């Protein structure tokens, strides 16, 4: 059935090997961030033996799909009070910035006779989650260290999200300092000092301070791109995920619509350049299934004209393929497009070993 997303686990493993060896050679052991593909167990089972220190996701529902795997799991979004009992019972490590939440974790862990591991979230300036001021961070750590059923295993910071602030040698040095200071003040070993996601890749071997020993990569592993400048990581695949969609109409039509102009789908006002009559295909896939802006036809002579909820129109005037109704057009995909495809029940999923 189409539309279909195909994940090449072989290509993914290749990317992982390239990125992992490069980072490890530079003192960083990156964890795999799995939210882009909902931690799909068919993929994750093939990655459990690759020596990842952690698998990380922002949704507990995704982590719950892979609880049987041996790699330790981290919940990256601050836990909701309503999910605390699951976090504790599933031995999921959580990132935290609120003392009330850590208290709830402590109480639940005491009831379940467990030790809940946590990571302190530091805000290095992106102003999403995390504690901003050094003094407040040390106070937070000190108060947590008094709790009987909580263990602080490290610190982390998130960048390049709300505020578009890039990881830099300067802000990463501050995180390393904070970790070191907590170790000194409280005598707790910080196993994990996690500076950022794929936007911190460019600093690896290129100014990343010594104290940082972990990064959290989705994009770098899955797409072979570093996320600060959008550069390709050498010798990686950008087509681990491919979308296939089926042609339901092929016609040559004018490039400018005919009649009075109003709104298009989703209340947009598109503009049209008159390029005469051109051959185009309609594919049975749309905004309900994927992020259209993240699609690129694999055939370089084809390009996307537009889409609505359920239809995608591709110009094939210059294509060297003689398409018929029922034929398949294939696309490379970016992160948001893959994420939407995985959460859409209309998209068939296929895995190549």
**Contact residues: ligand PLP, CB under 6 A:** 33, 35, 58, 76, 158, 197-199, 216-220, 227
Catalytic residue among 4, 11, 13, 35: 35
HSE-CB at 257 with a 13 A cutoff on CA atoms is 12
Q: How far is the CB of 306 from ligand PLP (least distance, A)?
A: 28
Spell out the residues 6+ positions from residue 122 whose beta carbon is closer than 8 angstroms to its own: 130, 131, 137, 155, 156, 157, 175, 178
Looking at beta carbons, which residue is closest to ligand PLP? 218
Question: Cα 265 to chain center, whole Å?
Answer: 28
Nearer to ligand PLP, 149 or 334 (CB): 334
Separation of alpha carbons 42 and 115, rounded Å = 30
| Active-site annotation holds for 35 | yes
Nearer to ligand PLP, 213 or 246 (CB): 213
Nearer to ligand PLP, 35 or 166 (CB): 35
Separation of alpha carbons 186 and 30, rounded Å = 26
Q: How far is the CB of 267 from ligand PLP (least distance, A)?
A: 30
Q: How far is the CB of 143 from ligand PLP (least distance, A)?
A: 23
Strand (E) or helix (H) holding 14: helix 9-25
Separation of alpha carbons 333 and 241, rounded Å = 6
Q: How far is the CB of 206 from ligand PLP (least distance, A)?
A: 17
Question: Position of tokens 């390029």?
Answer: 275
* CB 220 within 8 Å of CB 238: no
**Residues annotated as part of the active site:** 35
């Amino acid at each position: 059935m189409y539309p279909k997303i195909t994940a090449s686990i072989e290509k993914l493993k290749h990317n992982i090997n390239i990125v992992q060896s490069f980072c490890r050679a530079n003192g960083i052991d990156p964890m795999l961030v799995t939210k882009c593909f909902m931690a799909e167990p068919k993929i994750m089972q093939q990655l459990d033996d690759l020596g990842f220190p952690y698998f990380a996701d922002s949704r507990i529902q995704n982590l719950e799909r892979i609880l049987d795997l041996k790699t330790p799991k981290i919940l990256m979004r601050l836990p909701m009070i309503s999910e605390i009992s699951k976090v504790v019972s599933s031995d999921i490590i959580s990132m935290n910035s609120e003392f009330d939440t850590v208290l709830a974790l402590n109480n639940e862990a005491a009831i379940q006779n467990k030790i809940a591991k946590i990571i302190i979230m530091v805000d290095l300036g992106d102003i999403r989650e995390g504690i901003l001021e050094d003094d407040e961070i040390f106070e937070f750590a000190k108060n947590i260290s008094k709790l009987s059923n909580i263990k602080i295993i490290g610190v982390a910071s998130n960048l390049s999200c709300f505020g578009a602030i890039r990881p830099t040698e300067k802000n990463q040095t501050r995180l390393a300092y904070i970790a070191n200071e907590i170790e000194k003040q409280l005598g707790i070993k910080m196993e994990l000092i996690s500076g950022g996601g794929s936007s911190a890749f460019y600093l690896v071997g290129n100014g990343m301070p010594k104290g940082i020993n972990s990064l959290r990569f989705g994009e770098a592993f899955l797409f072979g791109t570093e996320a600060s400048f959008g550069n390709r990581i050498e010798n990686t695949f950008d087509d681990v995920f491919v979308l296939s969609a089926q042609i339901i109409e092929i016609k040559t039509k004018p490039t400018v619509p005919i009649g009075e102009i109003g709104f298009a789908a989703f209340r947009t006002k598109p503009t049209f350049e008159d390029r005469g009559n051109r051959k185009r295909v309609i594919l049975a896939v749309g905004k309900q299934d994927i992020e259209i802006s993240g699609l690129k036809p694999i055939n370089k002579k084809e390009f996307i004209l537009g889409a609505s909820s359920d239809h995608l129109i591709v110009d094939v005037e210059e294509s060297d393929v003689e398409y018929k109704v029922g034929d398949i057009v294939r696309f490379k995909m970016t992160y948001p497009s893959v994420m939407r495809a995985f959460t859409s029940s209309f998209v068939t999923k296929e895995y190549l070993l």
